[in-house]
A = this chain, B = another copy of it.
Amino acid sequence: MTQFNPVSEAILAELTAVLTPDQLSITLADRQQHAQDMSQHRAHLSEVVIWPTNSKQVADVLRVAHTHRIPVTPWGAGSSLEGNPIPLFGGITLSLVRMNKIVTLYADDFQVTVQPGLGYKDLNQQLGPDGLFFAPDPGANASIGGMLANNAAGSRTVKYGATKDNVLAMEVVLADGRILKVGSRSVKQSAGYDLLHLFVGSEGTLGVITEATLQLAPVPAIMSSAVATFADVETAVAAVVELRASGLDIAALEFIDAATSGLLSREEGVDWGENPTLLMEARRFAATTDTTERQKMWQTRHHMFETLRRVFVGHRWQLADVAVPISQFPALVRFARQTLQAHHLPELLVGHAGDGNLHIAIPYADENTRQQANLANNKVVLRAIELGGTATGEHGVGIGKAKFMVREHGGTAVNVMNQLKQTLDPHGILNPGKIIPAPGTSLR
């Protein structure tokens, strides 16, 4: 591991020289505001927060950091769920929030070029009058840059793909300050190495995304929604596999287990009862097209974690995020329930079932329960990998999943990732401690 240097007065002076005074802060309040995301991981303070307003400034800051070996952790909206933007080694927090503009709308091409600090909900609000929207929907008003860095996904991924499937081109600043363009506005491109997808999902460890051209979709005119409740979980998840094979043009397919359905019915006034429930959205099937009812149903789903947080006052959360091939989803759900029972933990399972993506929300308020939650999460992750799946379907590796990388990818693939990291960031300054596991990492 590279030895990092502290942000000395001399380095602060170098940074100040390439910025305006309002673009840099060392106050405790500012550093605390950027010490933690929405995960359960421990907060950590950076030494200075910097708000660049253009790519050149990002490059200038990175050159200083590269020269002096100062860690740099990019920051979007702070809405990630795996500690991805926590500045584990201090140094610089590079907040992109002031780079939040639409650069160019290419309406005929269903494309838009944006800066990374723009929230995807804000983007979609601005695109509304053009009848277009950016489809990936991770929930909270994540920044576009954060979505790209984590390859975020959500309810609509079953139809529209994840963030990586909805980006065409980006501008990226490397650790040493070099600025490059990757990808193309042409939807087809077979012109050399796919650098675009190397940077997407790299969580700020290979470069800082300073601009992106996104693929948009037309807002569908008519959408039907359906709620189906089931007698038991097995039947519900078996139905997911069948629905996926049906050829129906499914735009969302969400699984909510009995306990969570009951909780949401009591708290939010939906009528799902204490039953395993599937929520579906699609074109062309007979069900409700009533806008108010649809909105209520999907709002309930989208605000579920807020509801859970409200109900479990004073609790923190271990959030599992695993995904498997769809045929293995029933087996995964079965294993997850058994594991939660064995560890005396509540069963709060929900999933972007159409993609084979399962989330488990595990509340804890004491150290013993935290440990049980951690053990249960580990078991579920290892089982998902055994079933041909992944440790993280959409939250990214961040801090919590680095220990599973070798199990999921094999040692050779992780070594190759490490080689690429060292090639593009030889001093290891970019978001250190994320993705690449430290040597000798245990699975506990």
* A interface, CB within 8 angstroms of B: 106, 108-111, 150-153, 157, 162, 164-165, 174, 178-182, 184-195, 197-198, 200-202, 206, 218, 221, 241, 245, 247, 323-327, 352, 355-357, 384, 388-397, 401, 404-405, 408-410, 412-417, 419-421, 423-424, 435-436
Contacts and interface: CB of A to CB of B under 8 A. Distances in A.
Contacts of A245: 108, 110, 218
Nearest to A187: B355
A106 B111 CA distance: 35
Given A180-B410, A241-B108, A416-B180, A388 B185 contact: yes
Contact of A423 (B355, B388, B397, B419): B419
Given A108-B326, A191-B409, A193-B206, 18 more contacts: A106-B327, A109-B325, A110-B245, A179-B412, A182-B409, A184-B390, A188-B355, A188-B390, A189-B392, A189-B393, A190-B390, A190-B397, A191-B392, A192-B405, A192-B435, A194-B197, A194-B200, A419-B424
User: How many monomers of this protein are in the complex?
Assistant: 2
Contacts of A395: 190
11 contacts: A110-B245, A180-B413, A181-B410, A185-B388, A189-B392, A190-B395, A193-B417, A193-B421, A195-B416, A218-B245, A218-B247
B201 A190 contact: yes
A416 B424 contact: yes
A186 B393 contact: yes
B389 A184 contact: yes
Given A174-B416, A184-B389, A419-B424, A327 B109 contact: yes
A401 B394 CA distance: 36
Most buried by B among A153, A194, A393, A423: A194
Contacts of A109: 325-327
Most buried by B among A178, A186, A390, A405: A186
A130 to B, nearest CB: 11
Contacts of A415: 178
B192 A393 contact: no
A164 B389 CA distance: 19
A190 B218 contact: no
Most buried by B among A179, A191, A417, A423: A191
Given A109-B325, A326-B108, A413 B188 contact: no
A397 B247 contact: no
A109 B244 CA distance: 9
B390 A189 contact: yes
Contact of A198 (B181, B197, B326, B393): B197
Contact of A417 (B187, B195, B413): B195
A218 B247 CA distance: 8
Given A109-B326, A162-B188, A423-B419, A193 B202 contact: yes
Contact of A356 (B180, B188, B325): B188
Nearest to A408: B191
Query: Top 8 nearest A-B pairs by Cβ distance?
Result: A108-B327, A197-B197, A188-B393, A180-B412, A185-B388, A186-B389, A186-B323, A151-B190
A190 B153 contact: yes
Contacts of A435: 192-193
Nearest to A326: B109
Most buried by B among A188, A247, A327, A435: A188
A408 B182 CA distance: 10
A182 B356 contact: no
A436 B195 CA distance: 14
A389 B185 contact: yes
Contacts of A390: 184, 186, 188-191
